[in-house]
Amino acid sequence: MPMQPLSSNDPDQIGPYRVFAELGRGAMGRVLLGAGPDGRPVAVKVVREWLAEEEEFRARFREEVRKSRKVSGQYTAAVVKAGPNDPVPWLASEFLRGPTLGAAIETAGPLPEDAVLRLAAGLASALDSIHDADVIHRDLKPGNVILAVDGPRVIDFGIARAADGGSSDLTRTGAVIGTPGFMSPEQALSEPVTAASDVFSLGAVLVMACTGDSPFATSSTLRTLNNVVRAQPDLTGVPARVRALAARCMALDPDDRPTPAELLELIGPVAPRSNPWPEAVAALADEQHRELARLLDNAGEAPTLIDDGPTLITDPSRPTWVGPPAPPRSAPPVDDQAAPPRVVPPIGKRPSTPPERQNRPSAPPVNRFSPPPPNPPPAGSRPDAGAAGMAVFLILCAIAVILVIRENVKDDEDPDDTGDMHETYVQDCQDAGYSQAACETSWSTDSSYVWTGYLYDGSTETTGLDETTESEEDQYEVYIDECQGDGYSQSACEESWYADASYTWTGELHEGSTDAETTDPYESQKEAYLEECQSFGYTQSECETSWLADPSYTWTGELFS
């Protein structure tokens, strides 16, 4: 996603860092491009204001910042500074040059197998480092993976962890921390998560790198989650080696998933390369570098505002710059050749004039002649009725013009800006695991034009992780009510609902739920396969790898590779 200019409502500075552009945004916050006092670029993550209002979030955020400082920067973006106690908490990390995995696939297409294996090794190393610091990422997805020149880097760990857990309203009604197409089954069911949850997400990311789509993605949030909680990924088109790795990572039971260290052993040594990514990805990195250079090279120019007359009436929702008061009438006339006065903006606010317009020639000066105040009429005389009527008419006309300006200011958006907003919205939506068609539909009905992490269904509320269309929502309520009416707990009923593709209560918990006293046919197949395989003299590890890679799930007498 290209860097976006900041709005007039954005601050000039966050902590010790000047900020220049927006790098990205998500449900938890925004990422801004900043620079420290030494001029070194950084990425500044600013959390959403509603999170900042929660003291419980602040306490957990402080703890996660402390832990994040322990994480090695070799495979991540090292944390350099944070402001957990500021009015709006923020965290600054080193700026990594390179596109996100999501942006690279969107622009250049899926990665070749050798690049995906390199990606797998890098992500496993990153998770190993993160987990060693007692941190769980909880939102590993293509948008949180940078394809840097020295290998993949994982970003944005810590904030999602701080926003989860506890009994407060941090997650809001019906929300789950994570991205539907890449979260683990235990996350989708709001169960406690461990480091194995990140490994599940890693497997989904590898499939996306090979195919361009999440292995669980559908046009419906509910159906996507249904695929997740059943751990039924679509591995079509995934090369054999990557498929075997991803399938093990996405095992339904967290205990069956490999640790990052075990995953590195399965991958084996990766040959060093001066450029680890395809040329098309390297071209994206070069383009980003040029854009960064343009932004930072122009950052030192201080804005100059000139008082050319009366203040223009603009959109009342935006701050208006007002020039200094006019000199007293007794003051000497202003020398038109003298240098114009500089109006320095107050600290923490950005001038309302967009940066790209500050250096353009200003409009011709407005007539600066100020007429003397009118003389009062002689006592006993009556004001001229025609003049009074004309004054009233002019006032009404002025009011009408102001109202028209206010009503139509929202229609004056730059088409290019709208196009950028559309591209950003759809990209962020696809990074969350949704199909392009679903993202386009959400964009067309979402009047805010800002991706919040969930599909928009056209109503006044966005579609949350456990919400879907009105008909499916009614089905869900009926199913849960009938299930609880038969004496089952709400959690058991919800798990049965997610596992039941018919979405119709039959009087018993669905066999896919953990409380159902039935045998999983998938597990039966697996046990038979492993037993036959081991009877041929192969080890259990070899048999499990063959099982995960074999689409027929039938032992043929030889290991499937």
Known binding-site residue numbers for ATP: 45
What values do phi and psi take at 376, rounded to 5? -65, 145
Active-site residue (options: 128, 139, 198, 550): 139
The H or E element containing residue 197 is: helix 195-211
Inter-residue contact 117 to 130 (CB < 8 Å) = no
Inter-residue contact 8 to 318 (CB < 8 Å) = yes
**Pick from 76, 121, 119, 79: nearest CA to 101:** 119
CA distance 137 to 155: 9
**Pick from 137, 207, 151, 221: nearest CA to 432:** 221
- Binding-site residues sit at 45
**Is 428 marked active-site?**
no
Residue 149: is it exposed, middle or buried by C-beta count within 10 angstroms (0-12/13-18/19+)?
middle
- Chain centre to alpha carbon of residue 72: 23
Copy the structure tokens of residue 63: 């703890």
Q: How many CB atoms lie within 10 A of CB 284?
A: 19
Inter-residue contact 153 to 93 (CB < 8 Å) = no
CA geometry: angle 425, 433, 498, nearest 5 deg? 130
**Pick from 133, 135, 138, 152: nearest CA to 26:** 138
CA distance 298 to 20: 10
Question: DSSP secondary-structure letter at 395?
Answer: H
Largest distance between two CA atoms of the chain:
121
Copy the structure tokens of residue 286: 């070069």
CA distance 281 to 106: 11
What values do phi and psi take at 217, rounded to 5? -70, 135
CA distance 276 to 152: 9
The residues annotated with a catalytic role in the active site are 139
